[in-house]
């Protein structure tokens, strides 16, 4: 086969091969209908480019006519593809109704039929003539239908160009760049067509339209590959939306379900895709009543109760780059645990207030009782009975200090033993009028925290022991010291109260003594603390009490 050598043949064949590779790459690699249309547009352009390259390479009239007719396949389908691409790219796909699809098919189908039967009517081509220049080329004389079809093509292409121009004027900057690039991709062949059909072609032996389509293909491919995130968006949806714990529903403009994630399927007990396409009124009536009132993400959420759970419900409108409403995204977040936690915190806060009030009232009542005992004791002349009143006051004071401490504390159920012992010892020394320098005190308490059920008996025990020391251990103004120690021993606590006074008489047994205070100590250790008590009578008196703190 003899090929005609022209300076345009090989570059156009090379451009065709590159366009075929790009077209199929986009088809298989980029999802979405718009990208499929873009791929078909590139391949349709390529039919024209390659057909023209082969026409240039042909040396016989029959071969040239054949390849010219091959190019007409592209001429028939390309305008419709360009128009559809501009429609979908500018988010006007709602224009493509069934009626519009039929109208878009009529002209290409009629033109294709007339092309096949041209010999009987010459409505597409009237005749061909060979032009001899630096190389052999063919000039066509077109029929009436061809010019009618050119008008149809012009209307479609200009409509697409206007859509891209509108996109440039009204969209954000990144979309302006994309719209401008695609408008240029349309203007190249439009300008080339005007030059060729008007006879103003600066290179008469070269059809500029297929050449311009090479640049159009490059722009469309670059726009899809560089700007479009179609390969990333499905992955983002898969990893984010599909794995969200929140229930997500996507509704169209008619509030029909078009998508929902697994969390929403589980909520609605959907095991397949049976809910897709159904109105939200049928799928989720509870939500449908909220939709007119659901706030966007920028406002406060609404609360929805469903199947014993509490949901925070948000929605946001789905709009295209022009701001046209396309649907609604509805998100339901399960806040049952959060709500229950808030209610629990509220209940605990109310109980805390109640407990503080209880401690406050108990403290006040004990203070009143202590004051009454103090007033009553002033009327008693016998020292023995007056002492009994004072002992009772001391015991009340020990319990009063517990409630005083708890009332002022943030923790209403536990007491820092070191702080409590310091308060109690200070109160006892003031009550008994112990002079500093004559009677001293020492506190050595580890960082121990006791529950109220343990702190009260400990306070009463310390009160009795220190009171006894201050009353009996240091007669006749004798100097001395009382010491309180407390520390953990294994899983127990040891409380040590000692003094270096005259000591406890050997014949006193705290289990059988007539002393109310000592019997109280024994009873508190055994019944309240469930512990043990030992007494050491060496250089004074030492009481060692061991007990276990109750579990919190």
Structure tokens at 473: 């251990």
Structure tokens at 366: 């004990």
Burial of residue 291 (number of CB atoms within 10 Å: 0-12, 13-18, 19+): middle
pLDDT at 303 over 70: yes
Structure tokens at 114: 């007339």
- Report d(CA 86, CA 156) in Å as an integer: 10
- Report d(CA 86, CA 157) in Å as an integer: 9
- Each residue's pLDDT tens digit, 125-162: 888 877 777 777 778 888 999 899 989 988 998 898 89
- Each residue's pLDDT tens digit, 418-456: 887 888 788 778 777 766 667 888 989 888 888 878 887
- Report d(CA 43, CA 81) in Å as an integer: 10
Query: Contact 97/104 with Cβ under 8 angstroms?
Result: no
CATH class of 238-334: alpha beta
- Each residue's pLDDT tens digit, 372-400: 666 666 666 666 666 666 666 666 666 66
Query: Contact 53/207 with Cβ under 8 angstroms?
Result: no
**% of the chain exceeding 70 in pLDDT:** 77
Q: What is the rounded (10 degree) CA torsion for 396, 397, 400, 406?
A: -140
Mean pLDDT of 447-466: 83
In total, the chain counts a number of residues equal to: 552
- Report d(CA 250, CA 254) in Å as an integer: 11
Query: What is the structure's pLDDT at 462?
Result: 84
Q: What is the pTM of this model?
A: 0.48
470-477 contacts, C-beta under 8 A, 24 or more apart: 470/428, 470/429, 470/432, 470/434, 470/439, 471/387, 471/432, 472/501, 472/502, 473/499, 473/501, 473/502, 473/503, 473/540, 473/541, 474/438, 474/439, 474/499, 474/501, 474/502, 475/502, 477/438
Domain ranges for the chain: 9-227, 238-334, 347-412, 417-552
Count Cβ atoms below 10 Å from residue 165 Cβ, excluding itself.
16
Q: Is the dihedral of CA 369, 375, 376, 378 positive or negative?
A: positive
Count Cβ atoms below 10 Å from residue 545 Cβ, excluding itself.
23
Residue 466, CA distances (Å) to 459, 463, 478, 488 in order: 10, 5, 16, 21
CATH class of 417-552: alpha beta
Query: What is the structure's pLDDT at 229?
Result: 45
Mean pLDDT of 219-225: 85
For residues 281 and 131, which has the higher predicted lDDT (pLDDT)? 281
Quote the mean pLDDT of the chain: 80
Query: What is the structure's pLDDT at 299?
Result: 47
- Each residue's pLDDT tens digit, 332-346: 888 887 777 777 676
- DSSP code string of 70-104: HHHHHHHHHHHHHHHHHHHHTT-GGG--HHHHHHH
Query: What is the structure's pLDDT at 318?
Result: 78
- Each residue's pLDDT tens digit, 232-267: 444 455 566 777 788 888 888 778 888 888 888 888
The model's confidence at residue 230, banded by pLDDT at 50, 70 and 90, is very low
For residues 477 and 272, which has the higher predicted lDDT (pLDDT)? 477
Beta-strand relationship, 257-260 and 302-306:
unpaired
For residues 510 and 126, which has the higher predicted lDDT (pLDDT)? 126
Please choose, from the candidates 517, 413, 535, the residue with its C-alpha nearest in 3D space to the C-alpha of residue 465.
517
Burial letters for 384-415: b for 16+ Cβ neighbours within 10 Å, e otherwise? eeeeebbbbbbbbbbbbbbbbbbbeeeebebb
Please choose, from the candidates 448, 429, 451, the residue with its C-alpha nearest in 3D space to the C-alpha of residue 440.
429
- Each residue's pLDDT tens digit, 165-184: 888 887 766 677 778 888 88
Please choose, from the candidates 409, 395, 404, the residue with its C-alpha nearest in 3D space to the C-alpha of residue 465.
395
Mean pLDDT of 318-330: 73
Query: What is the structure's pLDDT at 261?
Result: 84
Please choose, from the candidates 483, 489, 413, the residue with its C-alpha nearest in 3D space to the C-alpha of residue 450.
413
Query: What is the structure's pLDDT at 231?
Result: 46
Q: Of the spans 190-194, 241-245, 395-399, 506-510, which averages the highest pLDDT?
A: 190-194
Q: What residues are paired with 287 via a beta bridge? A: none
CATH code for the part of the protein at 9-227? 1.20.1070.10
Beta-strand relationship, 325-334 and 309-319:
antiparallel
Helix or strand (DSSP H, E) at 330: strand 325-334
Query: Contact 28/40 with Cβ under 8 angstroms?
Result: no
């Amino acid at each position: 086969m003899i090929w005609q050598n022209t300076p345009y043949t090989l570059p156009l064949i090379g451009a065709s091969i590159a366009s075929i590779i790009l077209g199929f790459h986009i088809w298989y690699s980029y999802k979405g209908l718009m990208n499929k249309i873009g791929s078909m547009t590139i391949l349709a352009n390529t039919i024209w480019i390659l057909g023209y390259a082969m026409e240039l390479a042909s040396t016989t009239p029959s071969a040239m006519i054949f390849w010219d007719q091959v190019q007409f396949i592209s001429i028939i389908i390309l305008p419709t593809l360009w128009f559809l691409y501009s429609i979908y790219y500018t988010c006007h796909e709602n224009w493509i109704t069934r009626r519009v699809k039929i109208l878009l098919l009529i002209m290409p189908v009629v033109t294709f039929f007339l092309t096949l039967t041209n010999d009987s009517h010459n409505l597409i081509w009237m005749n061909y003539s060979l032009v001899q220049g630096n190389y052999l080329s063919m000039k066509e004389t077109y029929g009436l239908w061809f010019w009618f079809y050119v008008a149809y093509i012009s209307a479609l292409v200009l409509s697409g160009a206007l859509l891209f121009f509108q996109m440039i004027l009204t969209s954000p900057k990144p979309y302006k760049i994309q719209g401008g690039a695609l408008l240029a991709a349309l203007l190249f062949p439009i300008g080339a067509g005007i030059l060729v059909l008007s006879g103003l072609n600066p290179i008469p032996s070269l059809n500029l339209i297929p050449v311009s389509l090479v640049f159009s293909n490059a722009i469309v491919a670059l726009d899809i590959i560089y700007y479009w995130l179609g390969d990333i968006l499905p992955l983002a949806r898969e990893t984010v939306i599909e794995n969200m714990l929140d229930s997500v529903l996507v509704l169209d403009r008619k509030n029909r379900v078009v998508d929902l994630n697994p969390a929403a399927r589980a909520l609605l007990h959907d095991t397949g895709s049976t809910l897709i396409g159904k109105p939200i009124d049928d799928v989720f009536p509870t939500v449908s009543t909220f939709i007119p009132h659901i706030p966007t993400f920028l406002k406060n959420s609404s609360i929805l109760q469903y199947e014993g759970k509490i949901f925070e419900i948000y929605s946001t409108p789905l709009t295209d780059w022009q701001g046209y409403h396309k649907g609604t995204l509805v998100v339901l977040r399960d806040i049952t645990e959060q709500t229950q936690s808030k209610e629990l915190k509220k209940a605990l806060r109310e109980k805390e207030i109640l407990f503080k009030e209880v401690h406050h009232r108990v403290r006040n009542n004990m203070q009143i009782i202590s004051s009454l005992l103090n007033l009553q004791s002033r009327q008693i002349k016998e020292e023995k009975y007056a002492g009994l009143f004072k002992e009772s006051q001391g015991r009340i004071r020990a319990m009063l200090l517990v409630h005083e401490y708890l009332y002022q504390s943030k923790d209403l159920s536990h007491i820092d033993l070191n702080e409590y012992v310091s308060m109690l010892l200070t109160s006892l020394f003031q009550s008994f009028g112990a002079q500093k320098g004559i009677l001293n005190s020492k506190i050595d308490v580890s960082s121990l925290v006791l529950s109220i059920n343990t702190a009260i008996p400990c306070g009463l025990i310390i009160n009795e022991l220190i009171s006894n020391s201050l009353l009996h251990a240091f007669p006749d103004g004798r100097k001395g010291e009382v010491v309180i120690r407390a520390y953990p021993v294994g899983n127990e606590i040891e409380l040590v109260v000692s003094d270096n006074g005259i000591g406890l008489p050997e014949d006193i047994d705290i289990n059988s003594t007539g002393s109310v205070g000592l019997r109280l100590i024994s009873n508190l250790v055994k019944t309240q603390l469930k512990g043990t008590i030992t007494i050491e009578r060496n250089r004074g008196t030492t009481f060692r009490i061991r007990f276990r703190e109750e579990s919190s």
